[in-house]
């Protein structure tokens, strides 16, 4: 260990010993997951970081232009929408059911007519759902018993939204909805309409044992119209239309 690192740890120990212990424990857990238990998710995340996926893959869609339509499903505070629009000038529809993040997006893009902010999620059916309030991990699929962490939010059926806006083709659909990707994609595939999207950029979530089974069924059906262009399991993956 270098003198610089030693001094840094020594200073941290004097100022905040609990914080140092917490950091050391978190680091130890990460090392054990990667190098001892060979945790699949941690290994994939490490590979994603090493390959600079956020820089080199997530915004690399050379076929997009100012006439393209992008769906940002699970918009959070609008970072993806902002970057993809800035790079290609495309029209972006941001779907964010969480009221706090919705208003952040609304304020952020108030002067941009090509970015539409919608205060509902996309799903297989219309409805009102309990949303677990967990910042960027907010989810319909992981309800909590503590009522203080639950927010009532709206979801709209996918095809009804397309009809409302007169959309017949989506060039890119980014999906990060904390487990809601499974029923949404199953719904699209059930109606044999997967080909109306050019590229699917998806973050699948592994919340339960049946997640992998559902994932396998979805990807098998999706492969009929799309090919897997890159994949980091349960981190991000992209499906490009044949």
pLDDT tens digit sequence for 73-91: 999 999 999 999 999 999 9
Among 24-38, 64-78, 107-121, 155-169, the minimum mean pLDDT is found in 24-38
pLDDT of 4 higher than 60:
no
Round the average pLDDT of the chain to a whole number and report it: 87
Residue 69 structural domain: 63-241
- Position 58 in a domain: no
Say yes or no: 26 and 110 in one domain: no
Model confidence at 97, pLDDT cuts 50, 70, 90, reads: very high
169 phi/psi in degrees, rounded to 5: -150, 135
**Backbone φ, ψ for residue 234 (5° rounding):** 60, 15
Provide the pLDDT for residue 16: 65
Residue 141 is predicted with a pLDDT of 47
Same domain, 211 and 150: yes
Cα 189 from Cα 15, distance rounded (Å)? 56
Q: How does pLDDT run across 193-223, given as a tens digit for each residue?
A: 999 999 999 999 997 777 889 999 999 999 9
- What pLDDT sits at residue 138? 47
Specify the pairing of strand 91-95 against strand 197-202.
unpaired
pLDDT reported for residue 14: 59
Q: What is the CATH number of the domain that holds 106?
A: 3.40.50.150
Inside any domain, residue 116? yes
- The pTM (predicted TM-score) of the whole model is 0.81
Q: What's the pLDDT score for residue 211?
A: 87
Residues 24 and 74 in one domain: no
pLDDT over 70 percentage in the chain: 77
Please answer whether residues 179 and 188 qualify as being in contact, where contact means their C-beta atoms are separated by less than 8 angstroms: no
Is residue 69 a contact partner of residue 169, using CB atoms and an 8 Å limit? yes
Residue 46, domain member (yes or no)? no
Predicted pLDDT at 112: 98
Q: Are residues 99 and 28 in the same domain?
A: no
Higher pLDDT, 136 or 16: 16
Mean pLDDT of 120-126: 97
Nearest CA-CA partner of 221 in 187, 198, 184, 189: 189
Domain count for the chain, please give it. 2
Close Cβ partners of 120 (under 8 Å, ≥ 6 residues apart): 95, 97, 153, 154, 155, 156
By percentage, how much of the chain surpasses pLDDT 90?
71
């Amino acid at each position: 260990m270098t003198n610089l690192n030693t001094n840094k740890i020594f200073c941290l120990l004097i100022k905040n010993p609990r914080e140092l212990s917490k950091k050391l424990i978190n680091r130890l857990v990460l090392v054990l997951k990667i190098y001892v238990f060979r945790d699949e998710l941690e290994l994939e995340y490490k590979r994603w970081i090493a390959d600079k996926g956020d820089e080199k893959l997530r915004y690399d869609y050379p076929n997009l232009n100012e006439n393209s339509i992008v769906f940002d499903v699970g918009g959070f505070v609008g970072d993806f929408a902002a970057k993809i629009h800035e790079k290609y000038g495309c029209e972006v529809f941001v779907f964010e059911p969480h009221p706090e993040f919705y208003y952040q997006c609304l304020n952020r893009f108030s002067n941009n007519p090509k970015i539409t902010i919608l205060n509902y999620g996309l799903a297989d059916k219309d409805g009102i759902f309990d949303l677990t309030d967990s910042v960027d991990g907010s989810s319909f699929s992981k309800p909590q018993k503590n009522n203080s962490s639950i927010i009532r939010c709206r979801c709209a059926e996918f095809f009804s939204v397309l009809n409302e806006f007169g959309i017949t083709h989506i060039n890119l659909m980014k999906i990060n909805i904390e487990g809601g990707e499974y029923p949404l994609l199953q719904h699209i595939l059930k109606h044999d309409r997967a080909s109306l999207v050019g590229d699917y950029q998806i973050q699948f979530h592994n919340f339960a044992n049946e997640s992998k089974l559902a994932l396998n069924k979805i990807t098998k059906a999706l492969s009929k119209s799309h090919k897997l262009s890159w994949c980091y399991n349960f981190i991000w993956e992209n499906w490009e239309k044949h």
